[in-house]
Structure 1
Amino acid sequence: AEGFQVYDAWGNCWIDWSSGVLITNAGHGRREIIDAIAGQACAKLLTNYCFPSRIRARLVERLAELSPEPLKKVFLLTTGSETVECAIKLCRTHGVKVGGRSKHIIVSFENAFHGRTLGAQQAGGIPALKEWIVNLDPGFVQVPFPDGFRTTDTSFDYFLKCLDERGVEPADIAGVMLETYQGGNAAFAPRAYMEALRQWTTGHDILLVLDEVQAGFGRTGTMWGFEHYGIVPDLVCWGKGISSSLPISAIVGRPDVMDLHPPGSMTSTHTGNPICCAAALASIELVIREQLAENARVMGELLHQKLQAMKLRFPEIGWVDGKGLVAAVMCVKPGGKEPDGDLAWEVVRRSIEKGVLMFSPVGMGGGSIKICPPLVITEEAVLESTEAFEEAFAEAVAQRRSAAA
């Protein structure tokens, strides 16, 4: 793989619309990242669980420099799920400190995905992913996400109403956690909603956590996805595109919150691995130097223009959402909002045959086709891939209509 293209052993080439599941923000196979990995490996420091290292310090300092006030304390981990687990731990510890043991509830959103570990899946809002959990923690409460499609009432008053219906008092809430955009459908909340949420959480000593594992490092057309909302959360979770390659993640937050647990109390064995730190530093510098967030914004405008035109053409597209170089096309059965997972699968299959690499449909009902190319994609490639995608969609729809006739 190289840049925004992926090859197989027989020389076939695809324009990548997956970024390896939103990992390769700086592009596939970047020489700068490869050299950084090799250089650190040759330095012979391959792990440093218990002790600091220069490369780890450099990464933490760089992330703190790039983060707005008051997000100035960074802790490195390995996976996005780990950062969510740490955020839950910090929220509940802070809640007990400011409000006693009753202040422990984590409010999150229906259809959200925060990872596959125990706490992350309970914070998530997908019931099928929780079936393996024998005793669900009643301290996790979900409310509808204000996407404007499935939840038509996007007012903050509706958020408060839902809490009231669930018998949840602000005094008992330790944290509100949400994805910057919902991973299953690329849905963003209204800016006014997020501004009201930020004001409300501050007023009730509730921590606001933004899960930016997918949204960070230029993906949405800004360095940080939460910039679209004009707010600064208390904690932010990062992962995936942080390195464009190796597994590394981070949580950043207010120093007074991050210091609630002493050194060593949130670690895991491979936390801040030196080789992964080197990869992350190289990727971040590429995103900044090559202005990839800006490229994501500009190419994203073109991508979304093409997708919105498709929505007007096909009644089988119920919804298109996203910002920058993340988008989702929701396939529905005409005349309603019921997801059409079979159609989505057929569109993806035909797109791959036409040279556009995509991952499996996602979201509730499996009807959401996710589009997230590397941020280095060019205008020519956006036009070529959207043309192929539209052809694939038209063929899949024609087949469906013919079978129904």
Structure 2
Amino acid sequence: MSDPSFTPRPVPAVETQFRRIHTQFPVPESLPILQKLHDFELRAMAGQPPVVWDRAEGFQVYDAWGNKWLDWSSGVLITNAGHGRKEIADAISAQAQHTLLTNYCFPSAIRAELCERLVGLMPEPLKKIFLLTTGSETVEFAVKIARIHGHKIGGRSKNVIVSFEKAFHGRTMGSQQVGGIPVLKEWIGNLDPGFVQVPFPDGYWTEDTSFELFERTLAENGVAPSQVCAVILETYQGGTAAFAPPQYIKTLRQWCDGHRALLVFDEVQAGFGRTGTLWGFEHYGVLPDLTTWGKGISSSLPISAIVGKPELMDLPNPGSASSTHTGNPVCCAAALANVDLIVKENLPHNAAVVGEVLQEGLRKIKARFPQAAYLAGKGLVAGLACVKAHKQPDGELAHAIVWRCVEKGLLMFSPVGPAGCTIKIAPPLNITAEAVREGCAVLEEAFEEVLAERAATTPDAVAQA
């Protein structure tokens, strides 16, 4: 492989309660595995730090060569209840041993049980559910419901889906048109004009947080409010961890009601306790008409869901909405065990309490390093954006810091957000305050070292040497 990041090099040994690094990095013995993936897997799958996972438990990830990482990724915000939970593994095993591994849309008791359990966690009137496989699928179905409803109450012209710039809603064609990242849509070519994005009021990348900007942007795009069938937003933006001001969302709820548009919250990342409440939209004091789930729903196997008002969810005719693996019985077993753990162990509360320890540690880093210019998040999700100057993303710095952290035993996925400048932090929700403090110390060390090395190789520093 020509990728220099796959060349093993010595790194300082680490041995703490939560981390252990005692090999070169990448591990020389891992190169055959990395080579196979390079040779046989599409290159779009590349880009993550070259840690070859062998097993994971709680909030730690292990390779097969004795190294141990403190995990700040949760895979990709999946393992809310923690990695490798015995309760989830046992539920999966029991269902598999029962030998019902799939049943398409034919009824099953376990699918009925999961539907009842999940709907029981939702406030009125969000009482109908559709189980799917991926977050992208749930967004696609939300678009379908929004347009069916729009056509029903306002004719074919009421078909505009409004979403937000910089948003990520999935990898399929419809979900990427909902998303607000232009580079991800270039392959589509003939974009649907019924998808329109407005600025997200994060207060940094978009300094204007007034709702007037929402209305003005629609007008500038030639969209009348009567044409809008739905507004969809991530509860927090996945690429930055930014929340909107609560009053903005309250006004948006009123605007949607006034113009008979649906309000859809994409909770694929935020749901199941991640932000310190069971559902992220609780921070805004409003209810959506539809909400989408994924990732943390099972802490393990692929399953997702969309939940909403019965009169909306029942709009498609029987047989017109299905999915090959909808409500897969093994995935349902995992989800039921996961929900029980999240509720029984009150993991949303732990996310709120330990999340404040995380946010405090990150605020300290932001205050020390001007290059860490923008911090966002709640609970156990955060985004720390690296910049060269105000609103000038520095993806190279973010990448270098994440890689340095991984070499020190703190695992994160590759930076995200504008120009890949945001260090995204999302540990399992059962992490302890002590482990979070250690992770913050490692991140601070990485900032210090990488910035010192960068300063030493600038032209001015070289000339002085």
Q: 1:284 maps to what in 2?
A: 339
The one of 78, 85, 96 equivalent to 1:30 is 85
**Is the counterpart of residue 361 in structure 1 residue 384 in structure 2?**
no
What SS is found at the alignment partner of 1:115? coil
Spell out the pairing of 1:207-226 with structure 2 (5 A cutoff): 207-226=262-281
Measure the CA separation in 2 of the matches of 1:399 and 1:340: 16
User: For residues 67-113 of structure 1, what are the alpha-carbon distances to aligned partners after superposition, in whole Å with 9 as ceiling and x for unaligned?
Assistant: 11110000100000000000000000000001000000000001100
Measure the CA separation in 2 of the matches of 1:264 and 1:339: 47
Q: 2:69 maps to what in 1?
A: 14
Spell out the pairing of 1:346-357 with structure 2 (5 A cutoff): 346-357=400-411
The one of 417, 440, 449 equivalent to 1:395 is 449
Spell out the pairing of 1:327-338 with structure 2 (5 A cutoff): 327-333=382-388, 335-338=389-392
Q: 1:378 maps to what in 2?
A: 432
User: For residues 178-217 of structure 1, what are the alpha-carbon distances to aligned partners after superposition, in whole Å with 9 as ceiling and x for unaligned?
Assistant: 1000000000000000000001101111000100000000
Superposed displacement of residue 150, structure 1: 1.0
Where in structure 1 do 4 or more consecutive aligned residues deviate above 6 Å? none
Measure the CA separation in 1 of the matches of 2:151 and 2:391: 42
Measure the CA separation in 2 of the matches of 1:246 and 1:348: 26
User: For residues 322-347 of structure 1, what are the alpha-carbon distances to aligned partners after superposition, in whole Å with 9 as ceiling and x for unaligned?
Assistant: 000000000000x3211101100110
The one of 228, 238, 263 equivalent to 1:183 is 238
**Is the counterpart of residue 122 in structure 1 residue 177 in structure 2?**
yes
What SS is found at the alignment partner of 1:361? coil
Measure the CA separation in 1 of the matches of 2:251 and 2:73: 33
Measure the CA separation in 1 of the matches of 2:433 and 2:194: 47
Measure the CA separation in 1 of the matches of 2:185 and 2:141: 19
What SS is found at the alignment partner of 2:130? strand
Q: 2:213 maps to what in 1?
A: 158
**Is the counterpart of residue 271 in structure 1 residue 338 in structure 2?**
no
What SS is found at the alignment partner of 1:182? coil
Measure the CA separation in 2 of the matches of 1:28 and 1:302: 21
Superposed displacement of residue 263, structure 1: 3.0
Spell out the pairing of 1:46-61 with structure 2 (5 A cutoff): 46-61=101-116
Measure the CA separation in 2 of the matches of 1:262 and 1:302: 49
**Is the counterpart of residue 85 in structure 1 residue 150 in structure 2?**
no
What SS is found at the alignment partner of 2:383? strand
Q: 1:66 maps to what in 2?
A: 121
**Is the counterpart of residue 262 in structure 1 residue 314 in structure 2?**
no
Measure the CA separation in 1 of the matches of 2:354 and 2:332: 29
Measure the CA separation in 2 of the matches of 1:277 and 1:204: 37
Tell me the amino acid that sits aligned with residue 439 of structure 2: S
Superposed displacement of residue 402, structure 1: 1.9
**Is the counterpart of residue 113 in structure 1 residue 168 in structure 2?**
yes
8 Å contact from structure 2 (residues 297, 338) kept in 1: yes
User: For residues 276-332 of structure 1, what are the alpha-carbon distances to aligned partners after superposition, in whole Å with 9 as ceiling and x for unaligned?
Assistant: 000001001100000100000011100001101111100101100000000000000
Measure the CA separation in 2 of the matches of 1:117 and 1:381: 36
- Pair member with larger Rg: 2
8 Å contact from structure 2 (residues 161, 194) kept in 1: yes
8 Å contact from structure 2 (residues 105, 322) kept in 1: no
The one of 130, 146, 155 equivalent to 2:201 is 146
**Is the counterpart of residue 343 in structure 1 residue 393 in structure 2?**
no
Name the count of aligned residue pairs.
404
Measure the CA separation in 1 of the matches of 2:373 and 2:434: 27
Superposed displacement of residue 50, structure 1: 2.8
Tell me the amino acid that sits aligned with residue 419 of structure 2: G
Measure the CA separation in 1 of the matches of 2:438 and 2:293: 31
Task: Tell me how large the CA RMSD over aligned residues is.
Answer: 0.7
Measure the CA separation in 1 of the matches of 2:105 and 2:243: 39
8 Å contact from structure 2 (residues 168, 180) kept in 1: yes
Q: 1:232 maps to what in 2?
A: 287
8 Å contact from structure 2 (residues 293, 304) kept in 1: yes
Q: 1:171 maps to what in 2?
A: 226
Measure the CA separation in 1 of the matches of 2:154 and 2:439: 53
Tell me the amino acid that sits aligned with residue 276 of structure 1: C
Q: 2:260 maps to what in 1?
A: 205
Tell me the amino acid that sits aligned with residue 118 of structure 1: M
Measure the CA separation in 2 of the matches of 1:364 and 1:116: 17
Q: What runs of 5+ residues in structure 1 fail to find an aligned partner?
A: none
How does the TM-score come out when normalised to structure 1? Answer: 0.99
Superposed displacement of residue 398, structure 1: 1.1
The one of 301, 306, 312 equivalent to 2:361 is 306
8 Å contact from structure 2 (residues 218, 224) kept in 1: yes
Superposed displacement of residue 42, structure 1: 1.1
Measure the CA separation in 2 of the matches of 1:279 and 1:225: 22
Which is further off, 210-219 or 154-163?
154-163
Measure the CA separation in 2 of the matches of 1:48 and 1:263: 17
Tell me the amino acid that sits aligned with residue 283 of structure 2: H
Superposed displacement of residue 364, structure 1: 1.4
Superposed displacement of residue 264, structure 1: 2.7
Q: What runs of 5+ residues in structure 2 fail to find an aligned partner?
A: 1-55
Measure the CA separation in 2 of the matches of 1:124 and 1:61: 31
8 Å contact from structure 2 (residues 105, 326) kept in 1: no
User: For residues 113-152 of structure 1, what are the alpha-carbon distances to aligned partners after superposition, in whole Å with 9 as ceiling and x for unaligned?
Assistant: 0001010000001010001102100000000000000111
What SS is found at the alignment partner of 2:457? helix
Tell me the amino acid that sits aligned with residue 63 of structure 1: L
Question: Relative contact order (C-alpha < 8 Å, sep 6+): which is higher?
Answer: 1
